[in-house]
Structure 1
């Protein structure tokens, strides 16, 4: 622990060895207590539900993930330039409702400490405009300003908004950054615009000053809250098929995790689940990549997935980009056994923290730019193992949900966006419908 940080502040930071220790706590308790001060600035702690290892049920309020995005390094465009003397207004959608929301900030890929001078949260009316009376100040260890060291992440204090957050609420999180920040930690494929205004406009509920728009979520990587009814958090983990591509990028709420969240909210309103999307476009299971494609699933799984508050379930859909590249992490020809070994590693890590892992079969890619018969053979073998190997807690047969019955190596007509790789809205809805809700642990 850095000697210069107060104990409470330091314990809220995620990074290095601290992240692993916190991961173990989160998974086994299926709840989050970032530290003993996870309450108001006066130190009063909040009630948090605990999962019984005997009855496998949650008793009492539970802090769960309502939204999340996986962070990557900003090495192109605006993300590579960073920000100076401006307010970012980021748009996120809550998958589950509750009270006492917190935000999670990431400077994981930063080269210098990130100073956030002021922050607020509110409910969106339209565009960058907040609904009247909903803007609420966000504090960090009782203070307005926060410093996130390079390579670290930080939770805010719980916030007391004017009204509880409702499932599917569209929220505005505003961050004033004096800067210069240097290259930003961000998630490129935001489903809505990030609005930018000069100066500190965290308390400005209007739109007049927010004259610039960018695509991407900058620094904000999570929002969680306390629910009296939720059973846990479902992490959807993967690549661009999970992260979303056009038209999902231009129509917020269009990815299969969004469709799954809506389905859960409708099917079990008295026992909802938080659903968070931790896909990264171009991500691979085995191979670390530079910039927006992010670190491999094997590298990022602990920090991105297993630190999610209230974690109960992971739905894993990853590997098609490895197959498309035809190479393993060492540049040698890829084998199905290497992918299977990677899956086994992630399954073991998730089960070590008490989470169930549900294996998603790899969707078709015949006709995609990186298709090969060699890759198709690997995909078929991997899918056969996912279905019959018994390694996962359940199987989500995404392939069967979207494939053409006459040509199983291809998407059903209308189920992809035309590139033979990424699902359309219809395909995404079919994928969400393929999840067996009864198999979820939460």
Structure 2
């Protein structure tokens, strides 16, 4: 499946979406095996209320894509009145129906959406085409019967007639989306209002939800190449699990990120961005390097370890398995110092010793220079000595033992 599809989606939409309409009409040919029965009205409304509710006895809702709400978009105090927002997202697992989550988390006023589509299929909310989202709130749409292909680009379009800002957004998406009005169309690398796409899937085992920072969000990777390590992991899982990437550039574990970037800290957003994800079975935590290297720094590695362990305990309380990653090297980056590096190394030793996660993946060992272990291997370095390039992210994604993702939480107390 070609992975560069964002521009093709826009071309098809501007040209009248004839190809998309044909695909919608014959989309059932994309899937093999028995198909779940159509959604009943009762199932439609029950599923819209409950992010993890099964659609019926043979199909379950699973996240195929997520994009965590980060902050209020600068300069959007009045929203985007009369504009159309076209969010391009890349799927991990497929299904025969979809639903979307829209967030007004950082809005100061109610948000009205009067048109929404998934690949040109109209979306409704409790049966209506228009929905009003309270300031600070979110809504989950009714299910829409639309074939969703795994490992493919999906276009989710929204129209906001009255604005209602500021806009809740996710910057640095490494994916080309669009903003349009009667005067033209502009490309952007921001996701706006859309925070999740779930699919109805009869065979997926669930979702792996990844809580992370810029290294999970894909900083340094090629735009529209879907080269984040989570994309590589999704390819390896071959549709058996959805992969929900909840990485935010600049995100920290114990504190909120910098103003207008970095988002709410991992501890604070864990319920919303991890535990509430549809079909969540395994949590993957790749967080902590910004606590070490950003000001104010965490100088006590035990605080970071305790924070990671607390996330594991919260996930265990929901019956979820937790896999964690060691913190990768960054010598040469502008904030590096021997003292901060010592904290990173100490956190890694705690992780390797066990007692923090159910299992761990040694990201540090996978990408460090064996001759200068506090540095990234030069061939993996994006250029700033902290973030990886496509080859580096590919290595992380391939380094994960897939068997570590499967299983029950450890029964012994940490």
Deviation, 1:42, is 12
Structure 1 runs, 4 residues or longer, greater than 3 Å off = 40-43
TM-score by length of 1: 0.78
Q: Secondary structure at the match of 1:409?
A: strand
| 2:256 corresponds to which of 288, 294, 317 | 288
TM-score, normalisation: structure 2: 0.83
* Structure 1 stretches lacking a partner, 5+ long: 1-35, 51-58, 123-134, 200-208
Q: Which position in structure 2 is the counterpart of 1:427?
A: 392
| CA offset digits 1:266-322 (Å, max 9, x no partner) | xxx6xx110011011111111113322111111111111111000011111111111
Return the alpha-carbon distance in structure 2 between the equivalents of residues 111 and 260 of structure 1: 37
Correspondence list, 1:47-58, <5 A: 48=54
CA distance in 2, matches of 1:198, 1:338: 49
Structure 2 unmatched runs, 5+: 1-40, 408-414
Residue 263 (structure 1) aligned with residue 236 (structure 2): yes
Does the 8 Å CA contact 1:41/1:157 hold for their aligned counterparts? no
1:228 aligned onto 2:202: yes
Match of 1:177 among 151, 154, 160: 160
- The equivalent of 2:36 in structure 1 is none
Pairs within 5 Å for 1:238-317: 238-248=212-222, 250-265=223-238, 272-289=240-257, 290-317=259-286
The within-5 A match list for 1:134-153 is 135-153=120-138
Residue 30 of structure 1 is matched in structure 2 by none
Taking structure 1 as reference, are residues 181 and 42 closer, same or farther at Cα in structure 2, changes over 3 Å only?
A: closer
Match of 1:67, SS? strand
Once residues 321 and 408 of structure 1 are traced to their aligned partners in structure 2, the CA distance between those partners, rounded to angstroms, is 19
CA distance in 2: counterparts of 1:376 and 1:146, whole angstroms:
49
Question: Which residue is equivalent to 1:73?
Answer: 71
Kept after mapping to 1: 8 A contact 2:112/2:160:
yes
Q: CA deviation at 1:47?
A: 8.1
* Partner residue in 2 for 1:128: none
Deviation at 1:92, TM superposition (A): 0.7
Measured after TM superposition, the shift of residue 226 of structure 1 is 1.1
CA RMSD of aligned residues (A): 2.4
The 1:402/1:218 distance shift into structure 2, 3 A limit, reads same
Aligned partner of residue 242 in structure 1, secondary structure: helix
1:168-188 Cα offsets, whole Å, 9 max, x none, are 121111101012222110100
Query: What is the CA–CA distance in structure 2 between the aligned matches of 1:211 and 1:325, rounded to whole Å?
Result: 37
Alpha-carbon distance in structure 2 between the residues aligned to 1:37 and 1:396: 42
CA-CA distance at 1:49 after TM superposition: 8.1
**Is the 1:326–1:334 Cα contact (8 Å) retained in structure 2?**
no
Q: CA deviation at 1:423?
A: 0.9
Please say if 1:357 is aligned against 2:357.
no
What whole-Å deviation, never above 9, does each CA across 1:352-379 have from its counterpart, x for those lacking one?
1111110100001111111011111010
Q: How does 1:93-242 map to 2 (within 5 A)?
A: 93-122=90-119, 135-161=120-146, 164-198=147-181, 211-242=185-216
Q: Using the alignment, how far apart are the partners of 1:220 and 1:439 within structure 2?
A: 30
1:393 CA displacement: 1.2
**Residue 60 (structure 1) shift:** 3.6
1:246 positional shift: 2.8
2:309 counterpart of 1:344? yes
1:382–1:194 CA distance, 2 compared to 1 (3 A): same
**3-state secondary structure, aligned to 1:348:** helix
What is the rounded CA distance, in whole Å, between the counterparts of 1:42 and 1:294 in structure 2? 28
Report the CA distance between 1:243 and its aligned residue.
0.7
**How far apart are the structure 2 equivalents of 1:178 and 1:90?**
17
Q: What is the number of residues matched between the two proteins?
A: 365
- Name the structure 2 match of 1:19: none
Distance change >3 Å, CA 258–CA 42, structure 1 → 2:
closer
Structure-1 separation of matches of 2:188 and 2:351: 39
Q: CA deviation at 1:62?
A: 2.1
